[in-house]
Amino acid sequence: MNVFIDIETIPQQPEAETKALIAETITAPTAMKKKETIDAWHNGEGKYAGEKDKAIEDAYRKTALDGAKGEVISCVVSDGKEFITEFRTGSNAEPELLKAIFTQIHFMCDNHGSKVDPYFIGHNVAWDLKFLWQRSVICGVKPTFKLPFGGRHKSDYYDNMQAWAGFGQRISQDNLAKALGIPEKPDDIDGSKVWDFVKSGSVQRVAEYNKHDVETVIEIYNRINFIGE
C-alpha cells in the first residue's frame, strides 16, 4: 500500500550542552594559517567578532540532519486522501512520536486490507526512512514494519527526486514543484527555519508546513506518473 511520508527534524538536545561540546572542538577556517589570526578568530577580536559563534550555530543546526544526534519532531503520512500528523515536543517526546506514527501507519495499512509492508513514497525518501530507523534504534522503539532505507527506488520505495533527476542526482522538492507548475509553499518557513519556529512556540506552523510537503509529494508523484491525466 502506498504511504506518502515526510519528516521534520530538530538539532541535538539540549541546545546549550550541545553547543558547549561543539565549542570545545571547533576549529578556525582551514584557510587561516597564522597563529595570531587563528587566535583572533577564537577570541572574536576585530573583524572576526562573532565569527566563531556563527560557526558554532551552523555546526549545531547541521546536527538536525544527523540521525545520531538530531531528533524527529514531526511526521506526516498519507494514503493519498487521509493525512495523519504526529507532532511532539518536550521531555521524552521523540519516543512517543515514533510509537504513534508507527501505530498510525500500521492501522492505515490494516484499514486498506493490506497484508504487506507499506510502500513509502517521498522526496529523497530513503533519507527520511534511514533517519526514522536510526532514531528508532536510539529511542528503543521497534517499527512494526520495514523501513527499507537501504533498498532501491521503485522496488523498495518510490523517490520522486530520483525518478526525476536520476540516480545520484539531486533536485529540491521546491524546484521540482516549480518546474511542474505546482503551487509553491508559503515562504515564511522552510526546513532550515523549523528549529526557529519550534523555539518560538509556533509548533502548529511546523506541522502545517510538514503536511504541505506531503501534499506536494503526492502532487508530484501523480504528475510524473501521469495519474489522473
CA–CA separation, 28 and 199 (whole Å): 28
Overall pTM surpassing 0.85 (yes/no): yes
Residue 69 has pLDDT above 90, yes or no: yes
Residue 130 has pLDDT above 80, yes or no: yes
Residue 115 has pLDDT above 90, yes or no: no
User: What does the pLDDT look like over 192-212, one tens digit per residue?
Assistant: 899 999 999 998 999 999 999
Long-range contacts of 17-24 (CB under 8 A, 24+ apart): 18/60, 18/63, 18/69, 19/56, 19/57, 19/60, 22/56, 22/59, 22/60, 23/52, 23/56
Locate 226 and state its grid cell: 501521469
Banded model confidence at residue 114, pLDDT cuts 50, 70, 90: low
User: What does the pLDDT look like over 4-54, one tens digit per residue?
Assistant: 999 999 999 999 999 999 999 999 999 999 999 999 999 999 999 999 999
- Find out whether the peptide bond into 11 is cis, omega within 30 degrees of 0: no
Task: State how beta strands 83-87 and 2-10 pair.
Answer: unpaired
Nearest to 221 by CA among 160, 174, 175, 171: 160
- How many beta carbons lie within 10 A of that of residue 120, not counting itself? 26
Nearest to 122 by CA among 167, 76, 85, 88: 76
Please report, to the nearest 10 degrees, the dihedral formed by the alpha carbons of residues 64, 3, 203, 205 taken in order. Answer: 110
Q: Residue type for 169, please?
A: Q
Look up the CATH superfamily of 2-7+76-224: Ribonuclease H-like superfamily/Ribonuclease H (3.30.420.10)
Residue 173 has pLDDT above 90, yes or no: yes
Lowest mean per-residue pLDDT among 79-93, 106-120, 166-180, 214-228: 106-120
Listed by start position, the domains of the chain span 2-7+76-224, 15-64
